[in-house]
Amino acid sequence: MLNHIAIIMDGNGRWATEKGRPRIFGHIKGARVAKKIITQSVELGIKHLTLYAFSTENWNRPPTEVNFLIRLLQRYLARERHHLFEQNIQFKVIGDYHKFPSMVVKEIELTMEQTKNNSGMSLSFALNYGGRQELVQVMQEFAQKIQRGQMRPEEITEELVSQVLEQRSVGEPDLLIRTSGEYRLSNFLLWQATYSELYFTPVLWPDFSEDHLLEAIQSYSQRERRFGLTSEQIEKPDPINSLSDSVKELLFTSGIRGNEDSKVLAEKTFLGRSLAWSSSYETHLGPTEALAQQIQGGRE
């Protein structure tokens, strides 16, 4: 089941440089793409979306770029807050955002406060986030508890670490996407991504479209998540009879949104894709059902 998607949005600088523009143009376009992908994720019924927007290492960039990224974030939140609210999104931040200027901290906290009772998709921005730092903090907390006699070392289990991380940060992504042809985790969700399906695409983030997200989801839907088991031990998905109308509609019209005339073309595109998936999908399930199952729930 596909509940949680995490994305390393990479390639903004290269995209701008390729066009002979300053790197900040890439970030501006990147922020627009983030907005689009957030909306699409809501429409697809994704429950959690985590976006790597600023890493602990990003502070080492030239100060003008760092300042620009911070201002862009501030402006983005100020402008988007009501859209996030309208889409029933609950906005969260992972990482130590208190290192940002107070105006930015204010925007972050206002956005979290105003969306905290929303019940739709949870959207986490990773800001001044580092996976190692997060783990070090958890270790320090455990050590302090042990020192105070509130905990015994043997109580530290994988389950407890996962639980603590899920409470203070995010849970485990089912699908982790990295754009721009880089094949690294770059300190992102190190613990949580242990069993995530990784999807790398050469597409630079500013060029990442709704179709590219669907391609990543298609790729995910064709994988067998074994969690260390053998293929035979995995319970294969049951057939499901039909897609929900909203998901079907979204897939039909993906990339070819708009008027009714385009629907026929969209259906052809969709059929073409379906054939491509079914050739590699081993069960009797049609790829459409398989994808719907990933999105809507069901067994892995």
Residues making contact with ligand FPP (CB under 6 A)? 9-14, 27, 30-31, 34, 53-54, 58, 72-73, 76, 180, 205
Q: Is the dihedral of CA 206, 104, 48, 89 positive or negative?
A: negative
Pick 34 or 46: Cβ nearer ligand FPP: 34
Nearest distance in Å: CB 15, ligand FPP? 7
Pick 182 or 224: Cβ nearer ligand FPP: 182
Nearest distance in Å: CB 172, ligand FPP? 22
Contacts of 292 (CB under 8 A, 6+ apart): 240, 243, 244, 247, 248
Distance CA 185, CA 41 (A): 22
Nearest distance in Å: CB 32, ligand FPP? 9
Facing residues of 4 across strands? 48
Which helix (DSSP H) or strand (DSSP E) does residue 177 occupy? strand 175-178
Q: Report the C-alpha dihedral over residues 180, 183, 186, 188, rounded to 10 degrees.
A: 90
Active site residue 60: no
Task: Kindly state the tokens that stand for 187.
Answer: 């300190």
Pick 31 or 176: Cβ nearer ligand FPP: 31
Q: Is the dihedral of CA 27, 28, 29, 32 positive or negative?
A: positive
Contacts of 249 (CB under 8 A, 6+ apart): none
Give the three-class secondary structure for 128: strand
- In the set 3, 58, 118, 187, the catalytic residue is 58
> In terms of DSSP H, where are the helices of 148-286?
158-168, 210-221, 245-253, 261-280
Sheet holding 122-129, edge to edge: 90-94, 122-129, 48-55, 4-8, 175-178, 197-200
Task: Kindly state the tokens that stand for 243.
Answer: 């897609």
Distance CA 242, CA 238 (A): 12
CB 32 within 8 A of CB 201: no
Nearest distance in Å: CB 160, ligand FPP? 32
Active site residue 238: no
Pick 66 or 198: Cβ nearer ligand FPP: 66
Pick 72 or 146: Cβ nearer ligand FPP: 72
Nearest distance in Å: CB 11, ligand FPP? 5
Nearest distance in Å: CB 12, ligand FPP? 4
Pick 79 or 226: Cβ nearer ligand FPP: 79
- In the set 10, 12, 128, 174, the catalytic residue is 10
Residues identified as active-site: 10, 58
